[in-house]
Chain A
Amino acid sequence: MSARANSVAGWWRRIFRRFGSLELLAGIALFAVILILILFRAQLQTHDPYVGDLYDRFSAMGVGGHLLGTDNLGRDVWSRLLEGIRWSISAAGLATVIAFLIGTVVGLVAAQVSGWVRTLLNQIVDMALAFPSLIIAIIIVAVVGRGFWPLTITLGLVSWPVFARVVYAETLSLLERDYVAASRAFGARRSAILLGHVLPGLRPTLTVVLAFHFADMLVAESALSFLGLGAPLGVPTWGNLLQESRDYLMVAPWLLIVPCAGIIYAVVTVNLIGDGLSSLARKRGLRIDL
């Protein structure tokens, strides 16, 4: 019996070592739930998310087969929530990728060049960081209208300076390391140093920033949609659900509570992953860099 207990403990220990931290493990488990909800949306939805029954308006949670109640048009909130998750997650994800790509390229270039190009790039980043992103979003939505791509691209465009800053600072520090100087002393080309030493060196930091940025984008998507600048009307994203709930706060509080809970759940999940990754990077860093 004790042998078995040992092997189970050993198994857990191995998992724990692989993932490095409890936060990361919990974050991944919670994220798996989101993925299941997205993938098996059709099977899990109890009603058509877009069609309501006006006799069934404002059903409370659990009443009449509506798990999370119904809204002002009698639509099933649970089914609408499931419909919206995919939208919110993919908009935030794509926005993160756009910000990551632009920011990383700008940061890398700024760190490698010198003189006025670097100054110019840094000034642009400073300006972009200082500029209120809501105003840019309003301008873009005013010009192209609401929709998935306008929203995603807007979010990406207003948030890339975060990556540029981090990548710029980290690259500068990496370029000062002795192993990069050694590489240069062998006559290695700049591109080889970039691919061989700098990019792998950026990886731990970037993974962490990516996770936290994703959480930021989830919140930003909701905020913009709530203000009517994000997802198109009718699509039940978390932000739109929130916006619709505003007028019925007193009669049907669950309309507010459900999308809020969704946002909080997703953000906590992603933050757990981010925390886990950063503590993992710290542990590895301690082992490697000391």
Chain B
Amino acid sequence: MTESLEYIDNYFKKAFTGHENQQFEQRIIEDPAFAEEVAFYIATMQTALQQQAEDKKERFRQLYKESIAEDNVRALGDDDIRSIGRKDIHPGRIRRLFPALVAAAVLLLVVTGWFLIIRAGSPQQLADSYITGNWQSLPVTMTSNESPLQTGLSYYNNGDLPAAAAQFEKSLQTDSSNSKALEYAGIVALRLLQYDKAIAYFRKLEDNTQLFANPGKFDHALTLMKRNQPGDAKAAKELLEQVVLNHLTNKEAADDFLKKL
């Protein structure tokens, strides 16, 4: 059976010559069992593509939510934010700002409402909500040091996640136990939906018992919630319980998740 599948696969991957292609077609006409296998192959590819499109659409939805949040901030504008802080605001300026402020407030309400809906949802939705709320940007230290870690953070905060991932991995090549590099590499892998990779980084981070604050276990749980495969929710719950019981980093958030899971 696998031989037939390989033969069919070779045809669709265009590995055949003209004569072999003709033989393939002839077999479809003459051998109904073979034709059925070809039909199954095509139906599978069609279904897989449909799923791929749906996954992409979900990714786009996330990007769209992010862009709405960015627009909200941009609507206020740096100058306007500064002037709101001053006492000598000109009434005309307030009038000019008023429509933008109202629009920003409405958008903020919509986004907040959306997040509140998500908060009451599945493990995946809870994880999405946490990621959107906490990991849109990562803290950059004020240093002149242009280490891969700092460069990676800069890429991350500019939204270039693959480039950020490459820098964090570069940092780990120099020091494979660098806890910050492990944490950031895990976060960026999670945001790129590379769950196995993210889990591997967070596990390694968990194993470091020398850290005063170690978010490894919590981040591992979050990745399982986001991946949401069979058994993931249960495993995530167990990890979150350990975070709460042992007073580990992000205990409050873990406690909050446990109430909702």
The answer to whether A and B assemble together is no
Residues of A participating in the B interface, judged by any CB pair closer than 8 Å: none
